[in-house]
Amino acid sequence: MPSTLLQGPIRPLNAHGAMTLSETTTVDCITRSAARPDTSQPCSRSAHESARYDQHFLQAVRQGLAGSPKRLPCKYFYDQRGSELFEQICELPEYYPMRCETQIMQDHIGSMVDAIERRRRPGSSLRLVELGSGSSVKTRWLLESLACPLTYIPIDISADHLMSVASGLRDDFPGCRIEPMAADFTTPLVLPEADDETTSATVAYFPGSTIGNFQPEQAKTLLRQIGELIPRHNNGMLLVGFDLDKDRDVLRAAYDDSRGITARFNLNLLRRINLELGGDFALSQFEHQARYNESLHRIEMHLVSQVAQQVHVGEETFSFAAGESVHTENSHKYSRQRFEALAATAGWSPRGTWTDRQGYFAVTLFEL
Ligand code: AVI
């Protein structure tokens, strides 16, 4: 088990799970975390400031706004309000990923489970490990269909939510062992041992297209790290959801919806800086933009300053030119071939792919 790779502080909040990035890499995005005051850090400026502010959040904001182009890490979208807005996004007619992935699970659970069961020794146990499990919503189809003996290991940093979800699952799936792990799954972890450790199989489950919020290089590192989570003598599999590249208008609408929910979600990051880091962003002076970057196959979310202005965060001042953007999120879109090539560099070989009826989203089973 490596001791480095994707490490970092994360404090995810709710139903959607979370993951983190390396503090030593430059990639800026992660999902669903909520910063709380972190008083364990040494004082860099004043005892007062250290006690009040989450130092990781503060440092990320300072660095991101001082750079050119300006950036803010998307992992900070997910405070309570941001998580609620994300849930609303998932219900929007324009935002297809959640609906499409759900449809895939409903339509193809039989063949997905067959593909997994074929790779399992008869009678041996199977561990299903969900990375950033949140409310384990899509996992229920798998738990209903996979054969026993089955152990489900939901991994999420939000311990309280994890425990309450686990207790509901124990009631609903009495034949299944539920072993929640409150942890940041991007840091080195050791899975609980299976009773038949040498013959059992392990499936890592990573739904939701969260992989797309990482730069391809980081996604590769994460995929490699997921492989290292699985003991060498196990049959290792990965079931992962990713968003397929598609018509740019469909993509733009998904990230710039007509009700303006995604705009509020994006702007909530500035609101959060105001609330938690003593910022004075005037939200009305920034506009949400979703840009499709064709050469990098990604939707970029930006907050564009409408005027030349100065903004304060704590004791620091940041200048914005009129039209200057803060880049807040990347959401990478893949073809099957590009995603399989990426996974191959991390040692994973594709064994089956399922898509929704429109061909917008894919779930692929990989094997080590
Ligand atoms: C969490 N993640 C997969 C979402 C996405 O589609 O990239 C986050 C999101 N950003 C704007 N809308 C949704």
Check which CATH number belongs to the domain holding 120 and give it: 3.40.50.150
172 and 284 inside one domain: no
Are 108 and 224 members of one domain?
yes
> Residue 11 domain-assigned?
no
User: Is 186 close to ligand 1, i.e. is its CB under 6 Å away?
Assistant: no
Spatial distance between the Cα atoms of 236 and 366, rounded to a whole number of angstroms: 8
CA of 192 to the centre of ligand 1 (A): 31
Residues 326 and 343 in one domain: no
Q: What is the pLDDT of residue 74?
A: 92
- For the chain, the residue count is 368
Nearest CA to ligand 1 atom 7: 331
Q: Which residues contact 321 (CB under 8 A, 6 or more apart)?
A: 305, 308
| Residue 183 DSSP code | S
Same domain flag for 258 and 230: no
CA of 223 to the centre of ligand 1 (A): 19
Kindly state whether residues 89 and 108 are assigned to the same domain: no
Q: Is residue 128 domain-shared with residue 146, that is, in the same domain?
A: yes
pLDDT of amino acid 51? 56
Same domain, 119 and 222: yes
pLDDT along the chain (368 residues), means of 10: 32 32 32 30 41 85 98 91 94 97 97 96 93 93 97 91 95 97 84 85 96 95 92 90 97 98 98 97 98 98 98 97 98 98 97 98 97
Ligand 1 close to Cβ of residue 89 (< 6 A) = yes
Q: Which atom of ligand 1 is nearest to the CA of 86?
A: 13
Of all protein residues, the one whose alpha carbon is nearest to atom 11 of ligand 1 is 255
Closest ligand 1 atom, residue 299 Cα:
7
Residue 212 domain-assigned (yes or no): yes
Question: Reduced to 3 DSSP states, what percent helix, strand and coil does the chain have, rounded to the nearest 5?
Answer: 35, 25, 40
Residues in contact with 24: Cβ distance below 8 Å, sequence separation at least 6, in sequence order? 4, 7
Residue ID of nearest Cα to ligand 1 atom 3: 210
Based on DSSP, count helices (H) and strands (E) in the chain, helices before strands: 10, 14
| 27 located within any domain | no
Indicate if 74 and 210 belong to the same structural domain: no
Tell whether 31 is covered by a domain.
no
Do 124 and 213 sit in the same domain of this protein?
Answer: yes
- Residue 213 near ligand 1, beta carbon < 6 Å: yes
**Residue 17 resides in a domain:** no
pLDDT at 199: 85
Residues 109 and 238 in one domain: yes
CB 130 less than 6 A from any atom of ligand 1: no
Q: Please spell the DSSP secondary structure of 315-341, one letter per residue.
A: TEEEEE-TT-EEEEEEEE-B-HHHHHH
pLDDT score, position 52 = 67
pTM of the model: 0.86
Between the alpha carbon of residue 249 and those of residues 32, 225, 306, 327, 355, the distances in Å are: 26, 34, 24, 20, 20
Q: Does a structural domain hold residue 320?
A: yes
- The pLDDT assigned to 187 comes to 76
What is the C-alpha R_g of the chain?
21
DSSP 83: H
Q: How far is the CA of 260 from the centre of ligand 1 (A)?
A: 15
Which pLDDT belongs to residue 6?
Answer: 45
Domain-located, residue 40: no
Per-residue pLDDT reduced to its tens digit, 73-84: 998 998 889 989
Calpha distance 126→146 (Å, rounded):
9
Say yes or no: CB of residue 262 within 6 Å of ligand 1. yes
pLDDT given at position 173: 97
Same-domain pairing of 114 and 215? yes
Residue 97 Cβ contacting ligand 1 at under 6 Å: yes
Q: Ligand 1 atom closest to Cα of 16?
A: 1
Counting the structural domains of the chain, the total is 2
Count of beta carbons in the 10 Å neighbourhood of residue 280: 12
Residues 216 and 157 in one domain: yes
Is residue 319 assigned to a domain?
A: yes
Q: What domain range is 361 assigned to?
A: 97-245+334-367
For strand 349-355 and strand 361-367, is the pairing parallel, antiparallel, or unpaired? antiparallel
Residue with CA nearest ligand 1 atom 10: 255
